[in-house]
Amino acid sequence: MPKFAASLNLMFNEWPLLDRFAAARDAGFKAVEVQNPYGEKPDAIGKRLQDAGLELVLINTPRGAPEIGGRGIAAIPSQAAEFRRLFDTAFEYMQATGCRMIHVMAGTHPTASEAAFEASLRHAAAKLAPIGGKALLEPLNLYDNPGYFLGDFDMAARIIRQIDLPNVRLQYDFYHRQRRHGEIAASLEAMLPITAHVQFAGTPGRHEPDVGEVDYGYLFGLLDKLGYDGWVGAEYTPRGATLDGLGWFKRWG
């Protein structure tokens, strides 16, 4: 079975963020994601990771101001300078925590463009290359994220191939794929060569993976069959208490 990472902005939210690292370790996780770490100082997060013996596998770029959509700014032409400034902030967190993958959030804005997004991704890739970091594209389903610029998996794959850099890769989220396109297994096999990180949540509802319309036992087995050896992020909102919903982790973890 795959190696699972807990998403600490969604799971273990019964604890303050800095206390979630120990809680995740105590539940059996060896790695975590923190999509939005920016409410705490980089060194504070680094210390909690070290104390808990956890690996931080993923953060997101800052979302940007609410008035420009609040879901990232990488694809918004007028925000190019602000993207670079905020990426420098994100890079500080990566250096302090040892995280080496970052989801570059495209944004939700009528002026968003593929050219601006590619420029931002190239900037991110160049900044990350000396530390062995990767810039990730994640297509988000448009039902939950109306107007988001990167709402299509084929578009993400095309951008990755156009940029043609080894550290610009796909973040493949089973939940978003099911909500947006379906056909998870076939597309996973086709896109795995450009995929650096995988995530999941139960569908519908974005809760635990052992309830819903997707057979996650099959998909986790397929990841093994296809030779995927990266982390698999549990990016879901628990239906109730986090610990009460970890039956799936005991079963597949």
Architecture of the structural domain at 3-252: Alpha-Beta Barrel (3.20)
Residue 253's identity, in one-letter code, is: G
Q: Quick one: tokens of 212?
A: 């819903």
* Angle at alpha carbon of residue 190, lines to 186 and 196, rounded to 5°: 115
Question: Pairing mode, if any, of strands 101-103 and 231-234?
Answer: unpaired
Known active-site residue 55: no
Q: pLDDT band at 102, cuts 50/70/90? A: very high
Query: Which residue is catalytic, options 40, 55, 118, 235?
Result: 235
- Calculate the CA dihedral of residues 228, 58, 36, 168 and round it to 10 degrees: -90
**Residue 67 pLDDT > 80:** no
235 is known as an active-site residue: yes
Residue 66 pLDDT > 90, yes or no? no
Query: What's residue 186's pLDDT?
Result: 96
Q: Helices 114-128 & 153-163, crossing angle to 10 degrees?
A: 60
Longest dimension (CA), the chain: 48
The string of pLDDT tens digits covering residues 167-194 is: 999 999 999 999 989 999 999 999 999 9
Q: Which residue among 118, 138, 183, 208 is the active-site one?
A: 138
H/E segment holding residue 138: none
Which helix H or strand E contains 166, and what residues bound it? Answer: none
Domain positions in the chain are: 3-252
Q: How many CA atoms lie within 13 A of 131 on its CB side?
A: 19
